[in-house]
Structures are given as structure tokens and as C-alpha cells.
Amino acid sequence: MVKLTGKKKIPIAVFISGRGSNLKSIYKYSNTKYSLINIRLIISDKSHVRGVLFAKKNKINTKIVNYGNKNKAEKKIINFLSKNNIKLICLAGFMRILSKNFINKYKHKIINIHPSLLPKYKGLNTHERVIKMKEKYSGCTIHFVTTKLDSGKIIIQKKVKIMKSDTPKSLAKKVLKLENKLYPMAIKKVISKI
């Protein structure tokens, strides 16, 4: 196995909007001996969130992008991406919908994590809806981003069992633990093809 140093690793960007637990797990993976990636850029549409604090504490290049005007925001992001020679974009709790133009520009280069067993429960409030429907299983999915919401090709998906006692909150906690474990695995899987 080849050990790559920081500069030779594949530059990736992570997009966040909040807590950043998936960002943390990707960062942890990027610092392992044989990882092929380096987080060269973090994009956040929010400034005072835990993910941004984590990024700053770890001195990762972070850009807060004002989403008042989506078109302008995406232009700025494209500029940051090209300046940093980004090869893969990981959406990790980024709660904005990217435009068709943006997605087409980075075809097969954007991946997303979603807290459900896609194609079931696309969109928001997944855990509430899953519990309401009395599902036996939920889980998480990492998939390629296409212009159709939460519908691109699945890279990795795993399920967790739902107990009768589970609430949306306890289910979210269980699923998040799985998400944090799976995101680095999904990156490993796609990066070898870049």
C-alpha cells in the first residue's frame, strides 16, 4: 500500500451546514496513514455552527458562503473549488439544494449522505416519518448527487433495526453513528475511480 503525504493526496471539499459529525469522521479518516484524501476546503452556508468551529480549530481552509443569492453563492463556491483543484465534493449535512448547473459541472464528483434507506424517505424529517410509518428498519445511504433529489446511484447503504421503544431522537442517534462509520468507507470506494 502506498503512503501519500498531504500534498500528494487527492484534494476533496466537504460541504456542511451544522454539527459536522460526518466532517469529523472524514477528517479523522483523512489523517490515517494510508488515506488517499486530504480535506483541502470546507464550505459552509452557516458561520456559527459546530462544524465550522471544528474546522477552524483544526486549521482547515474554510469558506462561509452567504446564500442570500444562490446564483452568486454557487459562483463563489465554484471559484473556491477550482482554486483548490478539488476532485471530489462530499456533502455532509449541507442543507442547500445545488442547482442543475452546478451538479452538471461536477458530474460524478459530488456525493451525499442521507439518513434513510433510499429510495425511501427522501427529503427532510426522515426519522419522524420512518417512526410514524412503523418501519422495522431504517439506515443511511451515501450516493452520487444528480439533479433529481436524493436519487443518484447508491455507493453504500446499511440498515439499523428500529426498536418499539425508539423515538425520532434515539433513531437519529443510532443512524448517525452508522453514518460516521460509513462515510469514509464510501469515499474510499469512489476515490479509487477518480
Q: Which is nearer to ligand GAR, 4 or 147 (CB)?
A: 147
Q: Which is nearer to ligand GAR, 27 or 109 (CB)?
A: 27
Please give the grid coordinates belonging to residue 103.
Answer: 451538479
Shortest distance, position 65 Cβ to ligand GAR, whole Å = 16
d(CA 106, CA 108): 6
Backbone angles phi, psi at 163, to 5 degrees: -90, 160
Write down the H helix ranges in the chain: 21-30, 50-57, 70-83, 100-105, 126-132, 168-191
Where does this chain bind ligand GAR (CB under 6 A)?
A: 16, 18-22, 51, 92-93, 113-115, 176, 179
Backbone angles phi, psi at 14, to 5 degrees: -120, 130
Q: Which is nearer to ligand GAR, 9 or 122 (CB)?
A: 122
- The distance between the two most distant Cα atoms of the chain, rounded to a whole number of Å, is 50
Shortest distance, position 36 Cβ to ligand GAR, whole Å = 21
Q: Which residue is nearest to ligand GAR (CB)?
A: 93
The amino acid occupying position 53 is L
Residue 114 a catalytic site member: yes
Q: Which of 48, 108, 114, 127 is catalytic?
A: 114
Active site residues per annotation? 114
